A and B are shown apart, each in its own frame.
Chain A
Amino acid sequence: MKLLAIIQLTFRESLARKTFIAFFGLSTLVNLLFLFALNLDIVDGAESYISLFGKEIDQAFELEKIVYGIESVVAVGLFTGGLFMSLFATSSLIPAFLEKGSIDLLISKPLSRFTILAGRYLGAVAIVAFNVFYLVGFSWLILSFKTGVWNFGFLLAGVMIVLTYAILYALMAFLGVTIRSGPFSLMITYAILFFSPLLLQREAIYALLSGKFWGYLLDFLYHFLPKTTELGNITRMLVQHAEIASWLPALTSLLFGALMFAAASMIFKRKDF
């Protein structure tokens, strides 16, 4: 109940930010595009023609492939652009609520400090989940109804995207609590997103390194930090029903998220405001 109030309040606060309005608008646009631009006419039962964005598509193309393709584009777009926007829009949520005058009030409520932080965190995850599933859910329904291809992998991809956000936001929460600066937390998180593909390809640059130490350091960073590139690949493979070689990157990334949130709440619990 009391926790819910914090989640609701955070949700509202995020909605009050322009970025989420833009996100929402963009999602609506994509949904409308699918709703009106994608035509599927079934002629004589057996033969069907699909016109995509006004252009007719050869029946030889497998319908399933096309649907998977479209859904992959949406999922990957969300995984990159959507995450980028969501992190940006929620970056100041933690530092803002730690400001004098507002955190005092929250602590004076009959809530443990852990609940306060968790409520804030869950509120941010809730707004992102809402936005992601607004796009994923509706476009899934539209595409499925129109084509008859019901791809549940696409919904799972939505879950992966929210999960990835939750992992990265745990890091933002940790940085927010320790450094109390939204832009700084954002920079670090973006840096991790940016360097993730490089860390994955670290073998390729081992030769360039001057000593073994740097190799170990890269190894450590790869294993410790969230593996967003691989999470992105998993997301795409879920949509396309491809074989996922290993869930380990997802598990270790989750572990990183849990660790960050635990550290954030430990620090938050002991802090003077």
Chain B
Amino acid sequence: MYVVETDNLTKYYSRGKIKALEDFTLQVEKGKIFSLLGPNGAGKTTLIKVLLGIVFPTRGSAKILGEDISNAGAHSRVGYLAENHRFPEFLTANQVLFYYGKMSGVEPALLKERIPQLLKLVKLENWGDTKIRKFSKGMMQRMGLAQALSNDPDLLFLDEPTDGIDPVGRREIRDLLKNLRDRGKTIFLNSHLLSEVERVSDEVAILKNGRLLQKGTVEEMVSVKQQFTLQLAEGYDLLQALCAELALPLVSQNGSFIVSVRDDAQLNHLIDKLRERQVLIRGIVPRKITLEDFFIEVVEDKEVAAP
């Protein structure tokens, strides 16, 4: 069973003028950290809002935790950190967690026990009795995260969770998310911080203009097909000569060479040739790019990508 399932989900705003989501079909498995990437206005927040019933889909259907999104019942097992969330400012951190936890259906006695742990988790343990109007941006964000966890949810929607959080805090949040995942929770993440997404996500989808452009594991996205970095002990001249002979594109980068081949057979043919001439090979590494490179490539290339 999938934790999040959408089927041709479509959302238009302003009577169809703004197409925030277009025939969006996606499945997210249980126990995964799933990240949604996309430029500003791509429809990431809209997707989460549709899934949580905050906006209504124009077309299509979706389920979270096996229940149709028109049903708020599944929400007791869901945590949500909204983009630009705000809590009533006159409340203290403890009170925010108490009231919002209670709204999620958590027993008050259990909440009283859980609140100190939640605050500790987001490193706000000394701020429980402070009114949140005195909080900094990063502290508010931590507060939002603690709130999202107040009902110990099975499915967590986080819209830009590390927005405004310092580097140390970001690492802590990453570790927290991994920890949650290891406990079987599913995390649905919207983020712009690609280096972070790269470190934490099991699966990534790229969204642009409301359409799904790519979906896969980080590994699949960052490894470039049919490009290999060759590390040789010596004999780079020979390599260049061979590649010229076989008409293989070769570029040098930081002292090593990257060769592009058509398929595995061609790669092995090149290796045979090198070995025939007694060239010592140190390593053949499938070439990787950063997720950022991949993201920019996808988003810029597929300007009007077909679905």
Give 1 or 0 for each of B100-126: 1 = CB within 8 Å of chain A CB: 101111000000000000000000000
- Tell me whether B75 and A109 are in contact (CB under 8 A): yes
| Given A2-B103, A273-B54, CB of A101 within 8 Å of CB of B86 | yes
Q: Is the pair A101, B84 in contact by a Cβ cutoff of 8 Å?
A: yes
With the chains together, A86 CA to B102 CA distance in Å? 27
Q: Is A111 an interface residue (CB 8 A)?
A: yes
Q: Are B54 and A272 in contact (CB under 8 A)?
A: yes
Q: A101 to B85, Cβ gap below 8 A?
A: yes
CB proximity to B under 8 Å, residues A97-127: 99-112
Q: Assess whether B102 is in contact with A2, with CB atoms less than 8 Å apart.
A: yes
B78 interfacial contact with A, CB 8 Å: yes
Q: How distant is A254 from chain B, measured CB to nearest CB, in Å?
A: 30
A8 CA / B55 CA spacing, docked (Å): 26
The docked-state distance in angstroms from the alpha carbon of A110 to that of B73 is 6
Interface assignment of B2: CB less than 8 Å from any CB of chain A: no
**List of B residues within 8 angstroms of A16 by Cβ:** 88, 90
Bound CA span A16–B53, Å: 30
Assuming the A-B contacts A2-B102, A6-B103, A9-B99, are A108 and B75 also in contact, with contact meaning beta carbons closer than 8 angstroms in the complex?
A: yes
Assess whether B27 is interfacial by the CB under 8 Å rule: no
A108 to B144, CA, bound (A): 13
Q: Contacts A13-B90, A101-B84, A101-B86 known; A108 to B56 CB distance under 8 Å?
A: no
Q: How many Å lie between the Cα of A111 and that of B99 in the bound state?
A: 14
Instruction: Give which listed residue, A12, A99, A104, A109, contacts B104 with CB less than 8 A.
Output: A109
How many A residues face the partner with a CB closer than 8 A?
Answer: 27
A13:B54 contact, CB within 8 angstroms: no
User: Are the C-beta atoms of A272 and B90 separated by less than 8 Å?
Assistant: no
Question: B72 to A104, Cβ gap below 8 A?
Answer: no
Alpha-carbon distance between A100 and B88 when the two chains are bound, in angstroms:
13
Min CB distance B15 to A, Å, is 12
Q: Which residues of B contact A102 (CB under 8 A)?
A: 85-88
The answer to whether the Cβ of B34 comes within 8 Å of any Cβ in the partner chain is: no
**When chains A and B are docked, how far (Å) is the Cα of A142 from the Cα of B53?**
52
Q: Cβ of B82 and Cβ of A108 under 8 Å apart?
A: yes
Given contacts A12-B91, A270-B56, A272-B13, contact A111 B84 (CB under 8 A): no
Residues of B20-57 contacting chain A, CB below 8 A: 49, 52-56
Tell whether, in the assembled complex, residue B72 and residue A100 are in contact, meaning their CB atoms are under 8 Å apart: no
In this assembly, does B80 line the interface, its C-beta being within 8 Å of a C-beta of chain A? yes
Distance in angstroms from A212 CB to nearest chain B CB is: 40
B76 within 8 A of A: yes
Please tell me which one of the listed residues B72, B85, B86, B90 contacts residue A111 in the complex, with CB atoms under 8 A apart: B72
Is A248 at the interface (CB under 8 A from chain B)? no
Not counting A13-B88, A106-B103, a sample of 15 additional A-B residue pairs whose C-beta atoms are within 8 angstroms of each other reads: A1-B102, A2-B105, A9-B99, A12-B91, A101-B83, A105-B82, A105-B85, A105-B87, A108-B75, A110-B74, A111-B72, A111-B103, A272-B13, A273-B49, A273-B54
In the complex, the 6 A-B pairs of residues with the closest C-beta atoms, listed nearest first: A5-B102, A108-B80, A272-B55, A110-B75, A110-B76, A16-B90
